Amino acid sequence: MTEPTVRHPISIEDATRLDPAQIAPPIVVTDGEHTEIGAAHGRVLPLIGHRRPYIYDVSLPDKRRVYADTPEDAIAAIIGGDYAEKLAAHRDLESSNDDTAIDEAWLALARLRHAHPDQLRLALQQQINDLAHRDGSWDHLDDQEQQQLTKAADPDGPYQVGVLEEIPFVDEEDNLRTRMAGVWSARVSLVLNTGDYDPYSNTPIPLSEMTRDGVVVPGDPNLVVLDLGDSAAYLESLQKAGWLTMSVLPAEQPDPIFRGINLN
């Protein structure tokens, strides 16, 4: 059995020698703080085969910038470690009939994806809590909300389930019933890692509600959700959380030479 093909990061010069009609390994550079493109601005846009740009352009808080053709490769470069190797192993198994091996490879990736947002969740929650103290919104929280937010930023604290409330619902026989569910109604956001909740555990993810001018607004964005559903969802949730900035170019390029790009 051959070793899985790992797409480790390459240099900008390496990218110029590649076939632009094929998926390219990612590039990691340190110009993440520059937004304008051009040598005079400290940022040169890499072109694969001197012809096409990468699809994903991701700028990170540590000034790194990741160029990638797939969200999976972008996440592999962000998480680091042996994620790229495990991703390659999973990718090679996807066309096989070995369901057990595929599941094991997927779980190995899931564990690494869970560990990354788990640390990030703590840092983001602490930043949110600090801002709430500075702008005075912390003082408008009740004791239970303050306790949950404090524990959510504590490395030794448990993941949070929201404030338990009795919620009405209609069962399969159309009967109106109630159940206990976690609800987050505070104006100060609570950061969640979806890897802590159903279907990864037996804990349902908290519901988001916020009271504005006496009106309860369901689904209001007072939850910062780091979504581990897949690499694309995780990238988008990191962008929504403000942890990274990202631009995505269309996979089908306007030049006919790129319309047959193989993204597998």
Q: How far apart are CA 165 and CA 178, in angstroms?
A: 10
**Mean pLDDT of all residues in 167-177:** 82
Q: Which amino acid is at 155?
A: P
Identify the residue with better confidence: 111 or 125: 125
Q: How many domains does the chain have?
A: 2
| Band of residue 100 on the pLDDT scale cut at 50, 70, 90 | confident
Residue 30 has pLDDT above 70, yes or no: yes
Q: Are 209 and 183 within 8 A, CB to CB?
A: yes
Residue 130 has pLDDT above 70, yes or no: yes
Give domain status of residue 5, yes or no.
Answer: no
Q: CA-CA distances (angstroms) from residue 38 to 10, 31, 262?
A: 20, 11, 29
The pLDDT score that the predictor gives to residue 255 is: 56
Q: Are residues 80 and 111 in the same domain?
A: no
Q: How far apart are CA 71 and CA 92, in angstroms?
A: 17
Mean pLDDT, rounded, of the chain: 85
Q: Are residues 234 and 253 in the same domain?
A: no
Q: How far apart are CA 229 and CA 71, in angstroms?
A: 12
Q: Are residues 93 and 108 in the same domain?
A: no
**Mean pLDDT of all residues in 37-60:** 83
Q: What is the CA radius of gyration of the chain?
A: 22
| Band of residue 120 on the pLDDT scale cut at 50, 70, 90 | very high
Q: Are residues 121 and 90 in the same domain?
A: no
The pLDDT score that the predictor gives to residue 139 is: 96
Q: Are residues 87 and 28 in the same domain?
A: yes
Q: Are residues 34 and 145 in the same domain?
A: no
- Nearest C-alpha neighbor of 45 from the set 25, 54, 60: 54
The pLDDT score that the predictor gives to residue 172 is: 84
- Our measurement of the distance from residue 18's CA atom to the centroid of its chain's CA atoms, rounded to an integer in Å, reads 29
Give domain status of residue 3, yes or no.
Answer: no
N- to C-terminal Cα separation, the chain: 20
Structural domain containing residue 19: 12-97+249-258
| Band of residue 43 on the pLDDT scale cut at 50, 70, 90 | confident
Give domain status of residue 1, yes or no.
Answer: no
Q: How far apart are CA 80 and CA 99, in angstroms?
A: 26
Q: Are residues 110 and 236 in the same domain?
A: yes
Give domain status of residue 88, yes or no.
Answer: yes
Q: Are residues 44 and 71 in the same domain?
A: yes
Q: How far apart are CA 168 and CA 185, in angstroms?
A: 17
The pLDDT score that the predictor gives to residue 233 is: 92
Q: Are residues 138 and 195 in the same domain?
A: yes
Instruction: Give the relative orientation of helices 99-135 and 143-152 as an angle to the nearest 10 degrees.
Output: 130
pLDDT tens by residue, 102-117:
888 888 888 888 889 9
Q: How far apart are CA 157 and CA 141, in angstroms?
A: 19
The pLDDT score that the predictor gives to residue 4 is: 55
pTM of this prediction exceeds 0.75: yes
Q: Are residues 151 and 224 in the same domain?
A: yes
Residue 41 CB burial class (10 angstroms; 0-12, 13-18, ≥19)? exposed
Q: Are residues 183 and 120 in the same domain?
A: yes
Q: CA-CA distances (angstroms) from residue 205 to 14, 107, 183, 192, 226?
A: 44, 21, 9, 8, 12
Give domain status of residue 48, yes or no.
Answer: yes
| Band of residue 225 on the pLDDT scale cut at 50, 70, 90 | very high
| Band of residue 1 on the pLDDT scale cut at 50, 70, 90 | very low
Q: Are residues 141 and 36 in the same domain?
A: no
Q: What are phi and psi of 39, to 5 degrees?
A: -60, -35
Q: Return the ∠ at Cα 220 (arms to 219 and 224), rounded to 5°.
A: 95
Identify the residue with better confidence: 204 or 97: 204
Give domain status of residue 263, yes or no.
Answer: no
| Band of residue 2 on the pLDDT scale cut at 50, 70, 90 | very low
